[in-house]
Structure formats: structure tokens, C-alpha cells
Structure 1
Amino acid sequence: MRQFTLILLALYCMGRGNAQTANPEQYKYTFTVAQDGSGDYTRIQDAINAMRGYPLAPITLYIKNGIYKEKIELPANNTDVTFIGQDVDRTIITFDDYAGKGTIRTFTSYTAKISGNRFVAENITFENSAGPVGQALALYVDADKTLFRNCRFLGNQDTIFNGGETARQYFVNCYIEGTTDFIFGPATAVYNNCIIKAKANSYITAASTSRGKKYGLVFIKCRIITGPEVSRLFLGRPWRAYAKTVYLSCEMPAAIAPEGWNNWNNPENEKTACYGEYKSYGAGANPVNRASWAKKITVAEAGQYTPDVIFASCNPDLAGERTWYKNSPAVFKWPGGR
């Protein structure tokens, strides 16, 4: 009797497995969201909820222009998802939570939380509209191999949380603005050719890089800008002792504090944090007066701060492992040409 039961269980499991993986064409892989009712859904979260977890093929979500006031979350089981907005200035996801609003805390104040690996976003604005009220995330991303291209991130304190201690994240041709620690977290995150606007006398970054990691926050060929009210701005301060942040070939405004870096009122951080610059230029480039504990990056070391090197993996044979951040820009294609 026991043997018969085991046979039935095995057959059930085989059937269940086939049901999960067979006939991939039965699942939907393209979704559309439009507030005017011309898409599959009018809300982004409704489209996310309709997606198959661990899909059998990549999923694309096209988002028509509009201001989508909603708090969205892409869970970890929603992998291989791409969001494509129609126009970066007019496809806006916005919400107004902030730490201290009811039971909201820093890490639940996000407008968008992205946890599904291999996520891509293009032509979208992520905004936290709470104003200067404390911690208020526009983006919480703890997924691995995430790519944000031609996106805007609008907020004040804590605009982008680069979460995930082992996550790799790539921001290219993006615009980010904020006030205090507005790019922060433990991930390995590369910002390439981005515009970064500081709106207050404060700190751009607050890395919390894990001990032993080679790379933390890396800025390549970025342009740092400020509003007229900013006169003393720091490149970063260590949220955790082993914070790592470097700027390479970045334009520095006059408002950058001569010392560049802050130890967060703890001299012990100077022994463990790794902060540095290479070929900074502009009115705020001041290598002579930078903090004595900041790293002076050599030409040879600068060659190790490229996306190819930074994102190199111990699993080079995985599909797309060496190319995920090189994907060509997608084109907004609304079904039916609408």
C-alpha cells in the first residue's frame, strides 16, 4: 500500500511540474497600462499582480504617459520584467509616503520597490512627492542585475536605496535629485553618464558597503549640479564602516566642500571607508585639499572601475551574465500602434 501511495505521489508531482512548465504560449508576456483605458490595466500594480511568477520568457510592461499615483512593488518572484515608459518626462510613478507617516518607516516609504532580478526600466520618472519631511524613498531596489536607462528619480532625503548586499545595479543616462544621503545602501551600483542634482547643503551618498566587497557606489562620467541655495556639499559619508564610493571623470560644482568627504562624526570610519576620485574636473575639483584619508586612485586602479570589471561574476557561464547591462535600448511599442 505504501509503495502504491508513493507511485501516486510521484505521478502527481510529475503532472504538476509539467503543468508549470509546459505550453509557455498560454502565458501572457506583454502587458499595457494606460490611464485612459486603452491598455490592459489602468494601474501599474494591477499589471504586476497579473504577471506569472518566475516567467518562462521575459515580460514587458508598456506604460503610457500619465501620472500614476500609486505605491508599487515588484516581488522577488517576478523576475525578468521590463518597464518601458512612453516618455520619461510624462510617464511618472509618484507617491508621498515618508518615515513617520503613521507606521511608515524609512524602508517602507518607497514609491517603487523592485526585488525581481534582471529588471529593466526605461523612460520612467520615479518620484516621492512627500517633500522635505525626512526619509522618503522614490526607489527601493534590492534586485540583482537591474538596469535603469533614461529614467528620473525625484525626491529629497534618501531618494534611491541601492539595497541588496550582493546586488549589482546599473543606472545609465539618468537624472537623480535629492537633499541628504539621496543615493545610499550596500549594493554594488554604477551610475554612468548621469546628472546628479543636490538641493541642500548636505551629502550626496551614504554607502553601507559590506566588509570584503570590492565595489560599492561608483560614479562614472557623471555631472554633479546644485541649486543656487547650495554652498557646501559633501560627496559622501559612511553609513557603515566599510563604505565604498568613488567618482571617476565626474564634473564637480563649486559647492563641493574642499575636503570632499565626511566621516559621519566618527574618526574610526576613516580607517575602514574607501572613498576616492579620479580625474574630477570643474570648479569643485580640489584634489590638494581633499580629506587626507580619501583614496588617491591611480591610472592602473582606474582601469578596474569599468562596468565590465565591476560586474564580473563568478558564474560567467550563466546566460546573460556578461551582457545584462549592455542591452540595447528598447522601443516603446503600443499594441496596435495606438
Structure 2
Amino acid sequence: MAGMNIYSHANIVIVLFEVVFASLMVNAAAKAPIDMSTAILLRVDQAGHGDFNKIQDAIDAVPSNNSELYFILVKPGTYREKIVVPADKPFITLSGTRASNTIITWNESGGIFDSAALTVLASDFVGQYLTIQNTFGTGGRAVAMRVSGDRAAFYGCRILSYQDTLLDDTGKHYFKNCYIEGGTDFICGNASSLYEGCHLHSLSTKSGSITAQHRNSPSENTGFIFLGCKITGIGAAFLGRPWGAFSRVVFAQTYMSNVIIPQGWDDWQDPRKQRTAYYGEYKCYGPGADASKRVQWSHRLSQNEAAPFLTKDMIGGTGWLRPAPTNFKRRPGSIATVADENN
């Protein structure tokens, strides 16, 4: 080694760089789907006319660290299953035909991380046209869905329980045209999430809270944004209370029925959080949107203040939200189009 000249050193460095670069490219290729328009189709049918009778069996059939899209089509029925999408199975779409007739149901109370009917730990997950419910009732924490994977999107789903209905735990998430129902803290967690065109229905009869966002630091880019949504209910409810000291929730262009308590927001019996929580409203309307009795520590946002919350930029959605696949592979070498599957 003592006699090696500078050119030999340079050649070794170049070779090592090429090896490392090639390895990185292989790993990147292995993690990214090759064709975003084509998915491997797995069908779930309780009547035995699909590839699987249970949803969990279809998820288990997806290979670990898969690099292709998987589309699990769930035929109408009520599926009494406790379902987990593991962290090592990204790029899965779980789809019903209509939320009204494709139902995932469970009945369990306990910890918010353990009781969910559907737990999503994987990244790049899509759920659509499903009802996801926990039927335990009002006696304790009973999560319908826990979302702990990054880059998850939900379309046209119904998410139903009473306490802690949706644990919107961590990651960047998007909810479009979903119906979410509960009585106490029924949208909770520390994700960075945009809810667009969603219907929130409160079952609270006294002073339950719709949201309990868990942001713990001003450096965390997390929070819940409700854009163009609708709030209804049967009694009286707060818009939110701070699970975390720096809890952040914004309602924009949202209809609020008279279910909303006039002060709007609750400090969870900790006045110190009034200085750190960020609760904002922008161009909301309806009887529950009257600002005259709102707590002084909430914010009536100007157009400039609201602007960052009116797009998908906070969740980086333009970089990861994907269109539905148009082609489906039922088996190697066989392609089925959407039209074929609907017949």
C-alpha cells in the first residue's frame, strides 16, 4: 500500500463511488412501483367467488417490500375482522364498491393503538368505498381505524365509533368525501392531514370534542385541516381540544350546524395550552360558525393567514397522491381492464 500512487487512489475512489451509486439505484428501483397505472388484482368475496374469503388473507398474500401496486377488491358484505396492513407492505389499495354495502366491523375497547378494526402501518396506502366501524359503544376507547403509515389516502369511506373513532396517528394523510362519526375526541392523533369535503357527525350530547390533535412542538409540521367540510350532530360539541400542547387544527370554508358550542374550542382544563395551541377558522358558515362568543385565544384567519391551509401543500399531496389504476393483472401475463372487472 505504501507504494500506491495518487492515480491508484483516485481509481479506487471512483470504483467505490460507482458501486455505492449502483446499489442506491437498485434499492430505489426496488422500492418504487414500476407502473402506477397497473395493479395486481386480488378479490375478496365471502361467497367464495374471489381469490380469498377474508380481507386479512388477501393482505397477507401481498409480498413483503413489494414494488408493485396491489389492488384488493372487496365484494359487498359485512366482514367481521380485525385487520392490520403491516409496515412492510406498501402500495396497497383496499377498495369496496360502495361504503354502504362493504363493511369492516369489530367490537373492542382498550388502548387506542390496539382496539382498531383497521390498522394501517404501511406507507402509500389507499382505502376507498368502505365502512370501517367499531361497535363497542360509549363505554370507553374504541378505535375504528388507526392510520400510522405515511402517505395514506381515503376516499368515500365511512368511519364510525364513539370515542377516538379515527386515530389519525402519524404521517401525511388525505381524506376526501369521507363520513366520520363519534362523540369524544373522535378525530385524534398527530398526523399532518387534510380533510376535504368530509362530513363530521357528532354523537355528543353535552360537550364532547370533535378533534384532539396531538402536536407537541412548534417545530412539528403536523395538524388537521378541514376544507369545505360539513359538521352536524345530535347535541353539543367543541371543535377541538389540545391533546398536545401545540395542538393545531384549522377549519376553512366549512358548514357548522348549531351543534357547535359557541366558544368553539376547549383548553382541556389546562389554561397554559391557550398560549401554545393553534386553532383557526376561515370563512366558515352556518349557525355554529358565529364568532361572537369564540374563545379569545382562537384565530379568525385572514386570507393570507389561511392560504397555507387551503391547498395540499402541507401534506405534500401533489408528490404522492396517485390516480386509481386503469389496468389490473390477475396473474402473470394476463391483463384485465376496469371495464372487464365491472362486468
TM-score, reference length from structure 2: 0.82
Matches within 5 A, 1:137-148: 137-148=143-154
* Cα deviation digits, residues 302-330 of structure 1 (max 9, x gap): 11113332123xxxxxxxx7343363597
Q: Deviations over 1:34-83 (max 9, x none)?
A: 00000011000011111111212111100000000000000110101001
What code does the residue aligned with 1:219 have?
F
**What is the deviation of 1:288?**
2.2
Equivalent position SS for 2:272: helix
Bigger Cα displacement from structure 2, 176-185 vs 326-335 = 326-335
Match of 1:171 in 2: 175
Q: Which has the higher contact order (CA 8 A, sep 6+)?
A: 2
Tell me the equivalent position of 1:285: 289
From 57, 68, 77, give the equivalent of 2:88.
77
SS in 2 for 1:307: coil
**How far is the alpha carbon of 1:213 from its aligned partner?**
2.2
1:188 aligns with 2:184: no
Unaligned runs of 5+ in 1: 1-13, 100-104, 313-320
Following the alignment from structure 1 to structure 2, what is the Cα–Cα distance between the partners of residues 208 and 90? 33
Question: CA distance change for structure 1 residues 288 and 336 in 2, over 3 Å: closer, same or farther?
Answer: closer
Query: RMSD across aligned C-alpha pairs, in angstroms?
Result: 2.4
Among 215, 222, 247, the alignment partner of 1:209 is 215
Q: Which residue of the partner structure matches residue 127 of structure 2? A: 121
- Written as runs of structure 1 = structure 2, the 5 A alignment for 1:77-96 is 77-96=88-107
Post-superposition CA distance 1:267-286 (Å, at most 9, x none): 00101110110111001112
- Whole-Å separation in 1 of the counterparts to 2:341 and 2:187: 39
Render the CA deviation track for 1:157-201: whole Å, top value 9, x for unaligned: 10000112xx10000001000000000000011110001000113
Is residue 54–residue 79 contact of structure 1 (8 Å, CA) maintained in 2?
yes
Structure 2 partner of 1:221: 228
Question: Residue 18 of structure 2 aligns with which residue?
Answer: none
Looking at structure 2, the residues matched to 283 and 298 of structure 1 have their Cα atoms a distance apart, in angstroms, of 20
The amino acid of 1:207's aligned partner reads Q
**Structure 2 counterpart of 1:47:** 58
Aligned partner of 2:238 among 224, 234, 243: 234
Q: How many Å separate the matches in 1 of 2:185 and 2:342?
A: 42
Question: Which residue is 1:247 aligned to?
Answer: 251
Identity of aligned residues (%): 33
CA change 1:210–1:334 in 2 (3 A) is farther
Give the letter for the 1:224 counterpart.
Answer: I
Distance 1:132 1:70 in 2: 21
Q: Which residue in 1 is equivalent to 2:323? A: 327
Name the count of aligned residue pairs.
300
Distance 1:214 1:106, change over 3 A: closer
Corresponding letter in the other structure for 1:297: L
Q: Does 1:97 align with 2:103?
A: no
2 CA distance for matches of 1:38 and 1:193?
35
**TM-score of the aligned structures, taking structure 1 as reference length:** 0.83
CA distance in 2, matches of 1:117, 1:271: 34
Contact 2:190–2:222, Cα closer than 8 Å, also in 1: no
Q: Which has the higher strand share?
A: 2
Partner of 2:72: 61
Q: CA 1:326–1:247 in 2, change beyond 3 Å: closer, same or farther?
A: farther
Gap runs ≥5 in structure 2: 1-22, 328-336
Distance 1:336 1:239, change over 3 A: closer
Larger Rg: 2
Deviations 1:73-121 (A, max 9, x none): 001101010011121100000000111xxxxx23201000001101001
Structure 1 stretches (4+) deviating beyond 6 angstroms?
329-332
